[in-house]
Structure 1
Amino acid sequence: MNKFIHSFRMRIIYLFIKSLLIAAFITFSIYKLLQLYYRKNVYYGDTYMYYRQLMRQIGDVYVFMVIYIPLAIIIFYLLTRTYTKYFKEISEGIRHLADGDFSYKTQISSNDEFQYIAKDINEASTRLKQAIESQALSQSSKETLIANLAHDLRTPLTSVIGYLNLLQNQLNLTPAQIEEYTKIAYNKSQYLEELIETLFDISKLDLSLTLNTTEQTTINIQQLLLQLINEMYPLIDERDAKIEESIEPNLFTMGNGKELARVFENLLSNALRYGDLTEPIQIIAKKTSKTIEIRLSNHGRPISEDDLPHLFDMFYTVDQSRSLQKKQTGLGLYIAKTIVEKHHGSIHVWNGEQRIHFEVTLPLDLRNI
């Protein structure tokens, strides 16, 4: 709740309302001062009385709205100037990241999403520097990673800066236009944050091809999946989706809980975004003699047989069978595959029974059976 209160959207709404209230106070004060002046100093027949009668004919409300609206826009512009500096600082950080300068640190002093974006950029720089120094990334994949994501990062950032410039420089905007442009800028900044988080995840995962033994713990897959469904309930409810789950108890494996949660969060998010939600999403988890099999299935248009072998490749997207409001990065399933393989498991996908099936196989920890 505290994070929501201090979010960028709430901050902009707060500044928008604050600008309206300040403008209203100033306009009302001008009105009362003029009213007091006319009562004490203007008499019938004076020149100023003519202007007063003209104002009455036009209407006091309309006259003072001419003062109120531009004043509100100017005040909103002054109150949001700080965010323009934030976007410029983020842009500078991304430019250094794209140029391979990992020593530059993005400095933003705020308690909203911008602080997290700056932290993610700095973390991404640190992780990429470590990956390059340890030669965990090959030269070709490193260049492809930076080039593709740097391009994707700049696109939403350009849109955000453009709309903020409109808010700052166009003094004839109506309150409705201000609210619309603010909403668009917020949505673009959310996508920007997602891309930065993806960059951070991909760089972190490529640091090593094997699990770090210090991060391995016993993981109960049943609890992990049920907790994930619980945490994603707002998104499930928003999409009016239904989950049918059949998860056996005592599904223990060894590994990194946060990384495995990322795998199943990615698969469930894909099902919620791309699937036909008129039918339930099925989550089935069971154990065999030596493995745990977790299958997530959703209704939807079958994936082309040409696309299936490449679905887990870096930067690969299935454009012809997906209709998205946001641009795809083609990294989500690659990250999922990397995590699963680091846990000595496998992941594959197939079409069947009017459903798309993703199945993750992990080694069973026999010590906890």
Structure 2
Amino acid sequence: MKYLSLRMRLTVLTGVILIMTTILLTIISISSANNKFVQPLTGLEGTHVTIEEMQIDEKQTNETQEFDLKTPSSPNENSKYLEEMKTVNKKFQFQSLIWMIVIMVIGVGAIYFVAGKALEPVKHLRKSIENINEHNLSDRINNINSKDEIGDLASEFNKMLHRIENSYTYQKNFAANAAHELKTPLTTMKTGIQILKLELSPTIDDYKENLEITEESTQRLIDIVEDLLMLANNHAVKFSDKIDLHQMFETIAQEVAPLCAEKNITLTLNNCKESIIGNKILIYRVFSNIIENAVKYNKTNGMIEIICHDQRDCIRISIADTGIGIEKEDLPFIFEPFYRVDQSRTRSLGGSGLGLSIVRSIIEKHKGRIHVKSANNIGTIFEIELLKN
């Protein structure tokens, strides 16, 4: 189908309505004229009409004077009078048709002109959109000032550009960070192999040391890939498991007990007797990750306290520690993939930088919420809200 502009479509549709209306009014006008001037006089043909019978009142005389006609004063003038009336009627019909065509042409032209003016902002919007690509997503549409649907469309398009720009930037940063994290263990393995090759006569201990480094780097690669798969996994999982919070936290406490013993950290569990509904494996990973971080970044002789608050339709779980805390400017970004509060500190303690991103993703899949409060060198509090049983 040939391209038809919006301006032309509006002109055609509105023009059809105008033409139909004009034709209808013309038909009604001609029909009314025929009924008014022709039909009442048809009885004059072939009949003898007296002067008294042909007389009309003053009002009717005034109406006929518009056509410059005279009422017949004798029967001999009947035929001439009828011919004049027919001529006037035909002239009226002809003029009506001419005016109908003139009105149609002028009306359609006016519609085309007005439609073009009304759609002028759409042209500006189209031209602005054509110039936007992945290299100038920061540009915005600023030349649309109309206070109507077109202005609203431009405003919403600017909002969409903002979201796309953020998403595009996020994807670029994510790809760069992922490549960096994957490159680090690979570089470590390659360096170990190169050093081993430089040895003229490497010993068994050299081989063992290199194997240990390779094994650690390989495991780190596996952890990163598994975390990436977990973060990108959108497949449907079951969220119908009944999870006993007390039992889950007791199991996690047993797992982190050796780490707590190294720093003499006390872990307490209060009022966690409720149950929640969700995926047991995913929820376990959420709290295991948070509690492990609370241990890693805690101080010697520190404390970790887990408190459950029963609310109307959810359970609010608070995990507070007395650790090194998080800087205020870092708090908005801690759930971003590969974001590290302190590069040297986090690398020395291990981890891929994806833990909290996975935590947030899992909680969102459970239709829950997570909040963080922290003060540098004082401690951090994670608050998680999940639907209860």
Specify the TM-score bucket, using the shorter chain as the normaliser: 0.5 to 0.7
Residue 186 (structure 1) aligned to one of 181, 203, 215? 215
* Partners of 2:183 and 2:202 in 1: CA distance: 26
* Partners of 1:238 and 1:183 in 2: CA distance: 24
1:175 positional shift: 4.5
Q: Closer, same or farther in 2 for the Cα pair 1:286/1:252, shift >3 Å?
A: same
- The code of the aligned residue for 2:227 comes to T
- The code of the aligned residue for 2:317 comes to I
Residue 195 (structure 1) aligned to one of 224, 242, 263? 224
Residue pairs, 1:267-306, within 5 angstroms: 267-306=290-329
Cα displacement string for residues 156-184 of structure 1 (whole angstroms, at most 9, x for unaligned residues): 01211331343356243344444433333
Q: What is the aligned partner in structure 1 of residue 89 from structure 2?
A: none
Asked if 1:150 is matched to 2:174, the reply is no
Q: What is the aligned partner in structure 2 of residue 131 from structure 1?
A: none
Contact kept in structure 2, 1:301 and 1:321, CA below 8 Å: no
* Partners of 1:151 and 1:310 in 2: CA distance: 18
Q: Closer, same or farther in 2 for the Cα pair 1:154/1:351, shift >3 Å?
A: closer
1:306 positional shift: 1.3
* Partners of 1:271 and 1:140 in 2: CA distance: 30
Q: What is the aligned partner in structure 1 of residue 267 from structure 2?
A: 243
Q: Closer, same or farther in 2 for the Cα pair 1:147/1:321, shift >3 Å?
A: closer
1:254 positional shift: 1.4
Q: Closer, same or farther in 2 for the Cα pair 1:316/1:151, shift >3 Å?
A: closer
Q: What is the aligned partner in structure 2 of residue 339 from structure 1?
A: 362
Q: Closer, same or farther in 2 for the Cα pair 1:280/1:142, shift >3 Å?
A: same
Contact kept in structure 2, 1:296 and 1:357, CA below 8 Å: yes
Q: Closer, same or farther in 2 for the Cα pair 1:202/1:185, shift >3 Å?
A: same
Cα displacement string for residues 9-57 of structure 1 (whole angstroms, at most 9, x for unaligned residues): xxxxxxxxxxxxxxxxxxxxxxxxxxxxxxxxxxxxxxxxxxxxxxxxx
* Partners of 1:231 and 1:301 in 2: CA distance: 22
Contact kept in structure 1, 2:238 and 2:279, CA below 8 Å: no
1:141 positional shift: 5.1
Residue pairs, 1:95-134, within 5 angstroms: none
Asked if 1:358 is matched to 2:387, the reply is no
Q: Closer, same or farther in 2 for the Cα pair 1:164/1:240, shift >3 Å?
A: farther
Q: What is the aligned partner in structure 2 of residue 225 from structure 1?
A: 249
Cα displacement string for residues 281-332 of structure 1 (whole angstroms, at most 9, x for unaligned residues): 2222232232212111111233211111222223322127945415664321
TM-score when scaled to structure 1?
0.53
Q: What is the aligned partner in structure 2 of residue 52 from structure 1?
A: none
Q: Closer, same or farther in 2 for the Cα pair 1:320/1:177, shift >3 Å?
A: closer
1:265 positional shift: 1.1
> Which is higher, the Rg of structure 1 or of structure 2?
2
Cα displacement string for residues 84-113 of structure 1 (whole angstroms, at most 9, x for unaligned residues): xxxxxxxxxxxxxxxxxxxxxxxxxxxxxx
For structure 1, the 5+ residue unaligned runs are 1-137
Cα displacement string for residues 241-292 of structure 1 (whole angstroms, at most 9, x for unaligned residues): 331222421x222111111111111111211222213212222223223221
TM-score when scaled to structure 2?
0.51
Contact kept in structure 2, 1:247 and 1:285, CA below 8 Å: yes
Contact kept in structure 1, 2:263 and 2:302, CA below 8 Å: no
Any idea what SS the aligned residue of 1:306 has? helix
Task: Give the share of equivalent positions with the same residue, in percent.
Answer: 31
* Partners of 2:210 and 2:261 in 1: CA distance: 27
Specify which structure has the bigger relative contact order, considering alpha-carbon pairs within 8 angstroms and separated by 6 or more residues: 1
* Partners of 1:282 and 1:324 in 2: CA distance: 26
- The code of the aligned residue for 2:333 comes to H
- The code of the aligned residue for 2:364 comes to E
Q: Closer, same or farther in 2 for the Cα pair 1:197/1:295, shift >3 Å?
A: same
* Partners of 2:217 and 2:343 in 1: CA distance: 24
Q: What is the aligned partner in structure 1 of residue 278 from structure 2?
A: 255
Q: Closer, same or farther in 2 for the Cα pair 1:224/1:296, shift >3 Å?
A: same
Q: What is the aligned partner in structure 1 of residue 23 from structure 2?
A: none
For structure 2, the 5+ residue unaligned runs are 1-166
* Partners of 1:170 and 1:322 in 2: CA distance: 33
Any idea what SS the aligned residue of 1:297 has? strand
Residue pairs, 1:59-78, within 5 angstroms: none
Q: What is the aligned partner in structure 2 of residue 164 from structure 1?
A: 193
1:336 positional shift: 0.6
Q: Closer, same or farther in 2 for the Cα pair 1:161/1:321, shift >3 Å?
A: closer
Q: Closer, same or farther in 2 for the Cα pair 1:344/1:317, shift >3 Å?
A: same
* Partners of 1:324 and 1:155 in 2: CA distance: 11
* Partners of 1:285 and 1:160 in 2: CA distance: 45
The total of aligned residue pairs comes to 222
Contact kept in structure 2, 1:317 and 1:329, CA below 8 Å: no
1:148 positional shift: 2.6
Any idea what SS the aligned residue of 1:330 has? coil
* Partners of 2:228 and 2:288 in 1: CA distance: 17
1:191 positional shift: 1.9
* Partners of 1:184 and 1:240 in 2: CA distance: 29
- The code of the aligned residue for 1:180 comes to E
